[in-house]
Amino acid sequence: MIQLNDLHFSINKDVKQQMYIIHKVITNQLNQKRQGSANTKTRSEVKGGGKKPWKQKGTGRARAGSSRSPLWRGGGVIFGPKSKVYKSKTNKKERILANRILIYNKIHNIQIIDNLTTNLDQPKTKFILDKLNEYNIKINKNKKILIILENNDKNLYLSIRNIKNIELINVHNINVLSLIKAETIILTNNTLKIINQIYND
């Protein structure tokens, strides 16, 4: 297991401050994933309906001013969803701080496997499973495993993409959502050095 001394950065131990910054960053990340494209037309946006369906009095029927009334089939929608842009701002320093807090707090869930891609000349899922078993890392449908590499590796990606609950990301793409979900975090020595460089005070 990785030791605290291997990560050369510290954090503010104020729990309320930690929760605030993590909540702010993860809210922003989730907002960026939202499409906000749901849209319905109001009575003024539905084509047609300009002519009064029948005269105001004398027919015995209820008054009607337009066939595009929300009460009519084919009419507009009352209080329906409209297109919306979900925006929230976080600074780069806030994102770095949130990642640093989570990495520090999950220190006991981090495992160093330096030879993960050694001898992986072609995609092979069994090779990766055997390598994880060597380090007593079990695949559990209820627990997420996050692998962080210093460089993108196509063979590794193809080897694990059909294994449930394993996520592979680049060290420069570390994000709060992936860290929170991860029960086990797998690093290499090179990845650890880069993390120290990026998140060092």
128 closest CA partner among 177, 163, 172: 163
Q: Is residue 69 part of a domain?
A: no
**Alpha carbons 162 and 139: distance in angstroms, whole number:** 12
Q: Is residue 157 part of a domain?
A: yes
φ/ψ of residue 103, rounded to 5: -60, -45
pLDDT at 117 over 80: no
pLDDT one-digit tens code per residue, 40-67: 999 999 999 889 999 999 999 999 999 9
* pTM summary value: 0.80
Counted domains in the chain: 1
Domain that holds residue 189: 91-199
In this prediction, residue 11 carries a pLDDT of 76
Helices then strands, counting H and E runs in the chain, come out as 6, 4
In this prediction, residue 113 carries a pLDDT of 87
Strand order in the sheet with 110-112: 110-112, 182-187, 144-149, 166-170
In this prediction, residue 176 carries a pLDDT of 95
Q: Is residue 58 part of a domain?
A: no
Q: Is residue 154 part of a domain?
A: yes
Q: Is residue 118 part of a domain?
A: yes
In this prediction, residue 153 carries a pLDDT of 85
pLDDT one-digit tens code per residue, 62-91: 999 999 999 999 999 999 999 999 888 899
In this prediction, residue 14 carries a pLDDT of 81
Q: Is residue 134 part of a domain?
A: yes
185 closest CA partner among 200, 158, 167: 167
**Alpha carbons 167 and 182: distance in angstroms, whole number:** 9
- The per-residue pLDDT of the chain, averaged, comes to 89
Q: Is residue 27 part of a domain?
A: no
